[in-house]
Chains A and B, each alone.
Chain A
Amino acid sequence: MSKFVSGILRWSNCCAMLLLGGSLLGLYAPPSVFAAEAERGTSCLSCHEQAVLSFNASFHSKIWKGENDCQACHGSTDQHIGDQSKTTIISFSKNGGRTAEELNKQCLGCHTQSANLALWDMGAHKKNDVACISCHDIHQPRSTVKQPDVCFSCHKDIRSDANKISHHPIIEGKVKCSDCHNTHGTQAKHMLNAENTNQLCYKCHADKRGPNIWEHPPVEENCLICHSPHGSRHESLLVEKVVNLCQDCHDDSSHHGAAYDTSTAFAGSAAVSVKDRFVARACLECHHDIHGSASFRRSLSR
């Protein structure tokens, strides 16, 4: 109950701050500059009322402040007025008859000089004919991409992984696709926001950065040798169940090579030493510093 009350108090506090901020902005706001809005798109309004009105309420429209009309994106309407088919105008509909390159040219006309799009030509989305409009709807109040849903509409394998029992908090909205990938192009593989996978992971997982005295070389080389970054049906986003994964490299000596079968579980044979069993987190029960150890003595924990 105390948490409930605390939540209400914090909520009211937040709303108060919000309204305060809004009021201050209002107090010092200059006169509106949107008088031109009513006139914008008037030639299109008679047929495309909803599109014109939605655009007039959009971020693009507000930022342009009446300097650009529908034709800025859709091209000249001269021919379209006579022949109202989609081919007589630059239509962004999926069956509008335009290639992604043609559509993107309309956007890049303004956005080429953007730091985010400087490497558009290098990215996989350009190569695979992804149109800007596939992700951004500039007729919405905000053209911000609704992650991860928009990304999942094409990347179905990633959607599947992100919904598995062990996953990065992507569907919870705490990690965005754009936190790790620059969808507008980078020079790195998979359009990563870093030179390679490890440098990317260390941005959040700085504790794994080391330097450690005792390294686990595959860890330092590539996190993806062991982890599936979006999600997995195995604990800790591992690419395989922990025993099988560890034994893919370590099954040649000592208890590392003990067979992982039903006799090594909790209910297994009492004759099997606990150190040869794979119960609970299995290998990780003892080898807890799998990402490297800062200890001076070489602990078996690494």
Chain B
Amino acid sequence: MIKKIYSAVVLLALVAPGTVFAAEEAADVHGSIELGGRGVDNNTNSAKFEEFVDMSDGVFGQVQLDAFMGDYFLQFDTTNPGNDDQSYQLKGGDYGVFKYKFSYDEMPHNYTFDAITPATGIGTQHITFPDTTSPAIPPLSQWTSFDYKVNHKSYGGELEFSLNSPFYAKLGAEKREEDGLRPYSVKQPAEVPEPISSTTDNLFLKGGYLGESLSVSLTGLLSSYKNDHKYMLWDDPDDHTTDLVVFSPDNDFKKLAGDLSWRDLPLQSMLAIGGSYAHLTNSYNANDIGFDTTNSTIFQRLIEPYNRLTFDGDIDFTSASVALTSRPLDKLDTKLYYRYFERDNNSSIISYTSVPRSGSPEETSNNDELLSYQKDDAGIDLDYRLPGRTKLEGGYEYLNMDRSSPAGDAITTNKTVDNSVYIGIKNSTLDWVTAKLRYKYLNRDSADREAPTLFYYQNQSVDEWKMGLDFYPVDSLDLGISYTYKDIDYDYSVDSRQQDTRNNVYLDATWRASTIASFTGFVGFEQVETDANRVTDNQTSPVYAQTIDDDFWSYGLAAKVAATEKLTFNLSWQYQKSDGAVNFDNSLTNSNYQDIVESDDYTQHVLEAKATYAVDQKLGVTIGYIYKKLDYSDINYANYTNVLDTTYYYSGLYADPNYEANIGYLLVAYKF
């Protein structure tokens, strides 16, 4: 059947071009087709080289089509059809009457190729490790090989009707599918992949009114996530039991949201009001996720007395927002806003008396982990225009977070209050330069500021400076520089982060030297220094201090030269260098920790050269070459071994992302 359909389509395709050209006068159809062939020489089988794209040898290209027929328009786009990263989009309609959009997209996510494991059953919901007592673990050559890779597909469509009226309705549906093997581990640790097979279905309906001064909309959303693999069994090689890991549960999400905006109010004001309510649920019992409550030898901990063996997930989300922008004075713009967000977790409390394999029984419950919170965010922004195309800006924001759990207190911090202010100035008196300077100060006050850990929830003082200059000294030259300095002091922190300091600088230049040549370049430098005190083994005061220093350089150059009317050359080069280090201060307790000099270090080179020859106004041919190289090194992967201490198994995940690749391609482009 598929063969017949395919044959019919191909036959029709043979007839189609004539029909299109015959109809060309009646319809306005134009677009482009690019079709190319590619050869790839990669010295490794690095997944990083093609993390989100299909870079295999073969055919690639894209099609773009625009058609107008009377009141109707249609746009069609496809990129890399036939490849693993193909995408298609079709949209069209009658502007002001109706519109539609359909899309299909595929994307690979390649983590690591040729990983290995001593376990069997990879990709299923039951994996088995060889018995380590007799015989010993098999040699690496006998391990199972697999790729950490997840394929993503999404497809769906939208229809919108307004029928030349101020009212409109929009209906959309989308399905997302994931399939493959994702990084995971069991047995503390043995790296094995999580089998992935899941779908997410989204359906939304939106209706509204768009008037000259008033617009209103109401949106409903249904979203359902289904996971085909809710758990995985694994046979422990050490104690010969079958154990269990549990994956993401199914869930259903429903949301209703409304928005209103009202313009042309006094003082040139605009009022915007929004609100939403959402409900996230799921329900499953112990058997649904692989627990065998009758078999004490397999899942012994689950036969302990549980308060219930069914979990009902139930979380409400409520939001509200209101904002008012005004121009009370001719040169003053103001914005007042308030946003509210609430997460109310009413999910089941699961509790039991744990009997660890060693040690005393202890009560265990999730009642202090089910997070509920309320967030209040209010502020004001002021912009005042001074003479000479100068603008002064300032503002204040108050953000309050109240957290709780069924146990009462939140496991993190019950309350944090952020107060922040900013002031800035922007000047473009001269047509050829724009200068900006901005300062922001934030103070975070934590209810549990005496708690020594949890950096995010600590008291903080944040100073941030931003500066930017854009020059256009002549029409053909654009120059830009921006600089950001940020300093975070964790005022009461004892054994966590003490201070973060960040410096970011970016330089850009574009020079259109003539009608036949242009050049662009950029340089970026980012530096992050994090100071932390650390404790070990339940000590009450810091044992050592640590400074984490991350530097990141990037720069690039590109040139485009039209050698003749028909021949154009493009050349570009990009370089990145990441240099991290962890330095120790052993003076606190006379410790002897050694500095780490390789911490997510890498260099990356990308060189691209291409020449395009325009045969005529419609047909062009491009021949191109790309060189890509990655060198990564990190202490966590240095001297990598697949077996550590005889019973810890590593699969090679992320161990060697390095590559050096040469890509050559020939591309023919036709415009019609």
Q: Which residues of A contact B (CB under 8 A)?
A: 3-4, 6-23, 25-34, 57, 59, 62-63, 94-95, 97, 99, 112-115, 118-119, 121-122, 127, 129, 141-142, 156-157, 160, 163-165, 169, 172-174, 187-189, 195-196, 199, 202-204, 206-218, 220-221, 225, 233-235, 240-241, 243-244, 247-253, 257-263, 265-267, 274-275, 277-282, 284-286, 288-289, 293-301
Contacts and interface: CB of A to CB of B under 8 A. Distances in A.
Interface stretch (B133-141, B233-241, B620-628, B638-646): B638-646
A141 B66 contact: yes
B389 to A, nearest CB: 8
Contacts of B314: 211
A4 B38 CA distance: 10
Most chain-B CB neighbours within 10 Å: which of A18, A21, A31, A97?
A18
Contact of A257 (B35, B73, B333, B535): B535
Interface in B566-587: 574, 576, 578, 580, 582, 584
B534 interface: yes
Contacts of A30: 26, 69-70
B58 to A, nearest CB: 5
12 contacts: A9-B6, A19-B12, A27-B23, A32-B25, A127-B393, A156-B506, A206-B253, A211-B251, A233-B552, A252-B535, A285-B188, A289-B246
Contacts of A189: 377
B578 A207 contact: no
B398 interface: no
A57 B348 CA distance: 61
Interface in B493-510: 495-497, 504, 506, 508
Contacts of A32: 25-28
Contacts of B348: 213
A13 B168 CA distance: 36
Nearest to B107: A174
A206 B636 contact: no
Contacts of B259: 118-119
B434 to A, nearest CB: 9
A16 B640 contact: no
A151 to B, nearest CB: 14
B179 interface: no
Contacts of B504: 157, 160
B58 A113 contact: no
A215 B200 CA distance: 22
Nearest to A62: B68
A208 B536 contact: no
Interface in B259-310: 259, 261, 263, 270, 272, 274, 276, 278, 280-282, 284, 286, 289, 291, 301-302, 306, 309
Contacts of B578: 164-165, 233
Contacts of A241: 548, 580, 599-600
Given A22-B67, A211-B280, A285-B191, A11 B27 contact: no
A58 to B, nearest CB: 10
Contacts of A163: 554, 574, 576
Interface string B63-76: 10111111001111
Contact of A18 (B63, B550, B604): B63
A113 B166 contact: yes
Contact of B496 (A122, A248, A274): A248
Interface residues of B, number: 212
Given A241-B599, A294-B284, 19 more contacts: A11-B59, A12-B10, A13-B6, A16-B16, A18-B63, A122-B335, A127-B333, A174-B87, A206-B200, A213-B347, A213-B366, A218-B456, A249-B453, A253-B538, A259-B536, A259-B591, A280-B636, A296-B311, A300-B188
B305 to A, nearest CB: 12
B594 A262 contact: yes
A62 B636 CA distance: 58
A296 B286 contact: yes
A211 B347 CA distance: 8
B82 A280 contact: no
Given A14-B78, A233-B578, A265-B639, A244 B315 contact: no
Given A11-B82, A195-B319, A199-B317, A29 B70 contact: yes
B613 interface: no
Contacts of B105: 174
